[in-house]
Chain A
């Protein structure tokens, strides 16, 4: 019983210790930490390009998070921090690309393609309808003739089937 208690105490201690080790670079202020994460989620980690610096544990990401924290502490706005990062690492550091003339194709390209696809679809459907309208209209006599031709063919097939 005492052993068990000791063990659990030890486990609890080691857990809190390792936790303290991980949390070392962050400050104690949970509100600030939340802001740091919010801003960090908009910044790309340039070492691991598909992650934000909030997700990444690359050394550069840790440094940049610290930078974000310091600037927030100094009272800078998110906008100012993003500008600071862009001035150093370029637009690529923004996880969500900005809306500007050079990124219009990126933002509206898919819509353009969709519009193009819709256009092709409409043209094709119209052409098909036109073809249908151009189909010859049969007179009553022609209908009878067609009917007889079709049944004849069916009969023929039936005959072949019967024979086999």
Chain B
């Protein structure tokens, strides 16, 4: 009785571990930037190349930084969500146009709608590296003190927005 129980116990433990392993997404790597200040940058704006944008200028408000590119197919998938969020005025959304040609980026926004208050133009992807970007699209939630509070890797879904982003933004806005 006791002997037959031990292999069964080992088996059950293995199954539990494998089960947990299956539900994890290996592409989602926790960012070391969480709860750290958003890295500083100074980039030209996508639409107005003679104007710059810095995250410091956005101190005092909760905002989203959405990394996007016209060559990124997954960005198109989440784009309607961003447009809808912008329409409802839920939170100011800023874009980081990542390794994209200016013309292509602007054309993409004309075609699919522009949810961004403005987009920074990260032509060489250097700012992307500072933000640990490895899979566009990525979205950062940045609080009033300029601290990164959350990062979504890959396309946002209505569930992520409803269950995670909206409550978090509300909380940060009240805090």
Ranked nearest first, the 6 interchain pairs of A and B with the lowest CB-CB distance are A46-B134, A88-B132, A90-B32, A92-B29, A89-B132, A63-B125
Any A CB within 8 A of the CB of B130: yes
Q: Which residues between 23 and 81 of chain A lie within 8 Å of chain B, taking CB atoms?
A: 46-47, 49, 59-60, 63-64, 67
Closest to A44 in B: B29
CA distance A60 to B125 in the complex (A): 9
Q: Are A67 and B129 neighbours in the complex by a CB distance under 8 Å?
A: yes
Asked if A63 contacts B32 (CB within 8 A), the reply is no
Please tell me if the beta carbons of B32 and A86 are within 8 angstroms of each other in the complex: yes
From A47, A87, A91, contact of B134 by CB (8 A): A47
Main secondary structure of the interface of A (DSSP, over half): helix
The yes or no answer to B31 lying at the interface (CB within 8 A) is yes
Within 8 A of A (CB), among B123-175: 124-125, 129-132, 134-135
Q: Any chain A CB within 8 A of the CB of B21? A: no
Contact with A along B22-36 (1 / 0, CB 8 A): 000011011111000
CB distance from B113 to the nearest CB of A (A): 26
Contacts of B33 in A (CB 8 A): 88
Q: Is B99 an interface residue (CB 8 A)?
A: yes
| Interchain nearest-CB distance for B117 vs A (Å) | 25
Q: How large is the interface on B (under 10, 10 to 19, 20 to 34, 35 or more residues)?
A: 10 to 19
Min CB gap B164→A, angstroms = 20
Nearest CB in chain B: distance from A120 CB, A: 9
Nearest-Cβ distance from residue B137 to partner chain A, whole angstroms: 14
| Cα–Cα distance between A47 and B124 once the two chains are bound (Å) | 18
Interface residues of B (CB under 8 A from A): 26-27, 29-33, 99, 124-125, 129-132, 134-135
Interface size on A, residues (CB 8 A): 15
> In the docked arrangement, what's the CA distance between A89 and B29, Å?
8
- A64–B129 contact, CB under 8 A? yes
- B129 engages A90 (CB within 8 Å): no
A90 with B99: in contact, given A46-B29, A49-B26, A63-B125 (CB under 8 Å)?
no
A60 and B134: CB pair below 8 A? yes
By a CB distance below 8 angstroms, the chain A residues around B99 are 59
**Among B27, B99, B129, B134, residue most surrounded by chain A Cβ atoms (within 10 Å):** B134
A88-B26 in contact (CB<8A): no
Which B residues lie within 8 Å of A91 (CB)? 32
State A59–B99 Cα separation when bound (angstroms).
Answer: 10
Q: What residues of B have a CB within 8 angstroms of the CB of A60 in the complex? A: 125, 134
Which A residues are CB-close (under 8 A) to B125? 60, 63
Q: Are B32 and A87 in contact (CB under 8 A)?
A: yes
- Say yes or no: A88 contacts B130, CB within 8 Å: yes
Is the CB–CB distance between B134 and A90 below 8 Å?
A: no
How far apart sit A11 and B130, CA to CA, in the bound complex (Å)? Answer: 43
B135 with A88: CB separation less than 8 A: no
Is B29 touching A88 in the complex (CB atoms < 8 A)? no
22 A-B residue contacts at CB 8 Å? A46-B29, A46-B134, A49-B26, A59-B99, A60-B125, A63-B125, A63-B129, A64-B129, A67-B129, A86-B32, A87-B32, A88-B33, A88-B129, A88-B130, A88-B131, A88-B132, A89-B29, A89-B31, A89-B132, A90-B29, A91-B32, A92-B29
